[in-house]
Structure 1
């Protein structure tokens, strides 16, 4: 199994059990899916599901057949606890989207929310394309640079978050096109990465290393430092 690069930031998210850590949070997720044709016959994969907030919403709101996956065992445990608490029949699988052991063409929809930035993007997109049915929809809410940074600044971001690259909008679109996706649309949000972002949900672990509190603080400092440069886009495309 291919692992996500070491990221103390992701470790912090898992220990704090941050739900809706992606830009826009669960409220943006709900808006995105209002424009999609989802019902109880839809098969949906939530890539990098975290604590399962989005997966639970899709299952409860639409009655869809939802599979949620994440590589982090702490997140998987919290996602399973969520589904048990609300008695939702969501399948939870621990694994990597770079090599995911499910059959071709299984899903009508696949969503990733701040996930692709942390993995091998071409490999992950190849798997997502394989897992989608013909005509299936892929939706991604991903970290995006508004302009190219100096190398030292870009390295600061990559080192902190554990990323191999930080892409601009055109780079994302090129990746989707190269994978084979069609009808690629980009949604640019009215607000920047952290303007009017809803307060996330927390599901704390019993034991949290004190240094992880500093990691969250450092995250917000970086967002302020690179405000207007670090942003996000919502991409939608079809197989």
Structure 2
């Protein structure tokens, strides 16, 4: 296996005008720009955004323009951006869809659930598999198994395997009182080295299914309850031994 590195971020919530203030919307844009600035310095093999890139499925033109500028910078640097949708930017219905689809079509992001096998591979290094967000526990329990039956995860023991999702798992360590646990751990497949999670706005890292479960937290403060949480992302280096 060849060594590689990646950035794991989640919950950027671009377009969120907290308290109705335009300056707060700008803060979320600035946090994303700072993330991209740092990624360009680190030069990872790829970047993962584990859901809630946008605060809603149809962001404003101002928010979209800033996102496109930053994704263009990453594309010019040769850094793929692997994305799954979250509870805020998933498609509310089949007619509206999600802004992630046209961004994928434009080659600015790689929207994992939209592609064959819901996966992306870096030859001789890693296999990345991503699932959609279904917003509620009931829908997750109904629809996630069907999605994975149609797009079977195929982790490769000779590679480093990454599972990307945006859900609060039903375990006390990552289930804050203001968030519904959307998925029992039994729904999450075995065989992955790194479970790249989103939705919980507080950093967490712990052992999970013979791998590592990681929530990077959000890049900006979304509400008062999380004001004391650290904000940022994880930069992960994987050597030849995995």
Q: TM-score range by the shorter chain?
A: 0.3 to 0.5
Q: What TM-score results when the alignment is normalised by the length of structure 2?
A: 0.38
* Structure with the higher helix share, 1 or 2: 1
TM-score, normalised on structure 1?
0.38
